[in-house]
Structure 1
Amino acid sequence: MRAVVMENYGGPEVLEVKDIQEPELQRAHRRIEVTRAGVNFADLHVRDNSYLAGVPLPYVPGNEVAGRLDGERVVALTRGGGYAEVAQARRLTTFSIPDDIDDDTALALTLQGQSAWHLLKTVLRLQSTDTVIVPAAAGGLGSLAVQLAKRTGARVVAMAGTEEKRSLALSLGADVAVDSTSATLASDLKDAAGGGANAALEMTGGETLHATMEALAPLGRMAVYGGVSGVETLVSTRDLMSMGKSIQGFWLPLLYGQRNALNEAMEDLFSAVRSSEIQVPSVTVYPLSAAARAHEDLAARRTTGKVALDPSC
C-alpha cells in the first residue's frame, strides 16, 4: 500500500511517500480503507519529535481517518498510521458516518470537533453567561469552537492573524475578533471581553499564553491543548492565587477508552451540523504525495478550516 513514511525526525522533507507492506491487524482493531486522512498540528509535533508521546521510527503519521470498513462509511481516531491507503483503528474510536453527512464533514468533526466539544463542555464547562476567548478561530478546531461556544449562548472573542481569518470568525458567529499578532494582545483581548473573559482556550504558548492569561477576569479559567510556538511556558503560582485563575490541560487521547464520552460528542456534533447550528468550513484536501506541502502550509497558517490528505493521489 502507499503511505507517508518518516524515516527520521525533522522538517516536512522527512515525509516520503512509499510503497510498504500493510501491517498485520492488531487485536481489537478494524481495517479501514482510507478516503481521507486528517492533518493536525499534533502531526507536526510528531514529525519533529516534540509531541507529548514519542513514536518509533520508521513511522506512518496521522491520527484520524475517514474511509470504508466492510463497505460502511466510518471515521476513526487512530494512534498513527493515518497517512496511508489502509489504516486500522480500535473499535472504541471508530464511528459510523450518518447517510446525510459527507466524509469531509465527518472527518472535520472527528479529532478537531471532538477536541473543541470536550474543551468547551468537559473542561471549561462553558455557560451562557460566559465570555470565552478562542484562538486560531479560522482553523479546523477554532472555527468549530467559535460556533459551539455560540451554541451555548456564550459571548465569543475570536483571535486570528489576518483580516481575512478574522472576517471568517465573525461570519461564524464570533462577537468580536482580535488580531493575534498585536503587540498589545493582552489589553486588546481584555477590552474585547469587556474587562476580562471568564474562560479561554489556549494552544500557542509563550507570550500568547501570558497575554491570554492576563485577559482573564478574576476566577477565570483556561484550557490548554497545544503549544504550537514550541516555547515551554512557565506560569507564576503567585499570579494564579492572587487572581484565583485556573489552568487545565487537555489531550483528546485521554478519552480514547471512554466510548460513552466520545459517542456523546460525535452524536451531538452530527446533530449540530444537521440542524445548521454549526457549519464546517470547506476542507482543504492535498494529494497524499503532497503531505510535506500540507505540513508547510499548516505551520505557516496559510490554511483555514480542516486540512486533509487524499490517499488516492
Structure 2
Amino acid sequence: MLAIQFDRFGGPEVLRPVELPTPVAGPGEVLLTVEAAGVNFADTHQVDGSYLGADALPYVPGSEVVGRTPDGRRVLARVSHGYAEQVTAKESAVLDIPEEFGAAEALALMVQGLTAWHLLRSAARLRTGESVVVHSAAGGVGSLAVQLAREFGAGRVLAQVSAPAKERLVLDLGADAVVGYPLAEKADVVLDAVGGELFDQALGSLASFGRLVSYGNSARQGFTPVDPALLSRLNASVVGFWLRPTLALPGAVSGPLKELFTLVSEGRLRPVTGSSYPLADARRAHEDLLARRTTGKVILTT
C-alpha cells in the first residue's frame, strides 16, 4: 500500500511516498481503507522532531482519517499513522458518519473541532458576554473557534488573520471585526497558536482577569518567558493547552464531538474546507500549511 513516511527530522522535504505492507488489526482494532486523511499543524511538529524522538523513525504521520471498515461502514477515526491507504484504529476511536457528510467536513471536527471546543470550554472557560480574540482565525481551528465563540455566548468575537485575503472569510463566519495589535479594546480571552511577538502583544492586551490560551507556536520563535510579576500587574493569566492528553480525559471526546456534529447538521456551524491534495503530495500540503497559504481544513485523498 502507498504511505507517506519520513526517516529523518526536517521540513516538508523529508516526507516521501513509500510502499508498505498492509497493517494487521489486533484485538479491539479494525482495519480501515482510507478515503481521506486530515492534515494538522501538529503533523509538522512530528516531522521536525518537536513531538518525536529519533527512536520512533521511520514514521508515518497523521492522526485522523475518514475510511471504511471491512463490512462497509463509513467512519471517522482517530489513528496513529493516517497518511496511508490503509490504517488500523481502535474500535473505541471510530465514529460512524453519514454517506452525505463530506470527508473534509468530518475531519475538520476531529482534531481541530475538538481543539476549538476545548479551548473555549475547558481552557478559557468562556463566560457569557466576554470578548474573544482568535489568532489565525481563517485556519482550521480558528475558523471553528470564531463560530463556536459566538455559539457559546461571547459578546464580541474579534479575528486576527495573516493576510488581507482572509478577512472576508472570518467576517462571513461571524467575527465582529478583523483586528491587529494594539487592540482598541481589552480582551477577556485570546486564543493563540502563533507565539512569538504575537503572544507578547496579546498578553499586554488582556482585560482584568483575562485569559491568554496558548496552544501552539507556529512562529517557531521559541517560547516566550512569562514573568509572574507581570501577570500580577495585569491581573491576568496564561493557560496552556494540548489536545493529546485532553483526549484521555473522561467525556472529552464523545460529548463534544456529538455536539459539534449536531451544530453542523442544524446549520449553526460551518467547517471551512481548504485544499485537497493527493496522498503522494503530502510534502506540498505541508509546505502550503507552513507558508500560511491554506484556509480551513486541509486533507490528503487516496
Q: Counterparts of 1:273-292 in structure 2 under 5 Å?
A: 273-292=264-283
Aligned partner of 1:182 in structure 2 is none
Q: Is the 2:23–2:86 contact (alpha carbons within 8 Å) kept by the matching residues of 1?
A: no
Which TM-score applies when normalising by structure 2?
A: 0.94
Aligned partner of 1:131 in structure 2 is 131
Q: Is the 1:92–1:259 contact (alpha carbons within 8 Å) kept by the matching residues of 2?
A: no
- Say if 2:186 is the partner of 1:210: no
Say which is worse superposed, 22-31 or 281-290, in terms of deviation.
22-31
Q: In structure 1, the residue corresponding to 2:89 is in which secondary structure?
A: strand
Q: Distance in 2 between matches of 1:270 and 1:296?
A: 30
- Which one of 270, 282, 285 corresponds to residue 261 of structure 2? 270
For structure 1, the 5+ residue unaligned runs are 180-184
- Which one of 233, 240, 248 corresponds to residue 239 of structure 2? 248
Aligned partner of 1:223 in structure 2 is 213
Q: Counterparts of 1:191-202 in structure 2 under 5 Å?
A: 191=184, 194=185, 196-202=186-192
Q: Is the 2:273–2:298 contact (alpha carbons within 8 Å) kept by the matching residues of 1?
A: no
For structure 2, the 5+ residue unaligned runs are none
Q: Distance in 2 between matches of 1:116 and 1:297?
A: 22
Q: Distance in 2 between matches of 1:7 and 1:153?
A: 46
Which TM-score applies when normalising by structure 1?
A: 0.91
- Which one of 230, 237, 242 corresponds to residue 228 of structure 2? 237
Q: In structure 1, the residue corresponding to 2:273 is in which secondary structure?
A: coil
Q: Is the 2:23–2:31 contact (alpha carbons within 8 Å) kept by the matching residues of 1?
A: no
- Say if 2:165 is the partner of 1:175: no
Q: Is the 2:28–2:91 contact (alpha carbons within 8 Å) kept by the matching residues of 1?
A: yes
Letter in 2 for 1:281: V
Q: Distance in 1 between matches of 2:119 and 2:28?
A: 28
Aligned partner of 1:89 in structure 2 is 89
Q: Is the 1:97–1:103 contact (alpha carbons within 8 Å) kept by the matching residues of 2?
A: no
Does the C-alpha gap of structure 1 residues 219 and 36 become closer, same or farther in structure 2, counting only changes over 3 Å? same
Letter in 2 for 1:269: L
Q: Percent identity?
A: 42
Q: Is the 1:93–1:259 contact (alpha carbons within 8 Å) kept by the matching residues of 2?
A: no
Q: Distance in 1 between matches of 2:266 and 2:288?
A: 32
1:143-165 deviation per Cα after TM superposition (whole angstroms, max 9, x unaligned): 00000001123111100011121
Task: Note the C-alpha offset of 1:34.
Answer: 0.8
- Say if 2:18 is the partner of 1:18: yes
Q: Distance in 1 between matches of 2:100 and 2:14?
A: 38
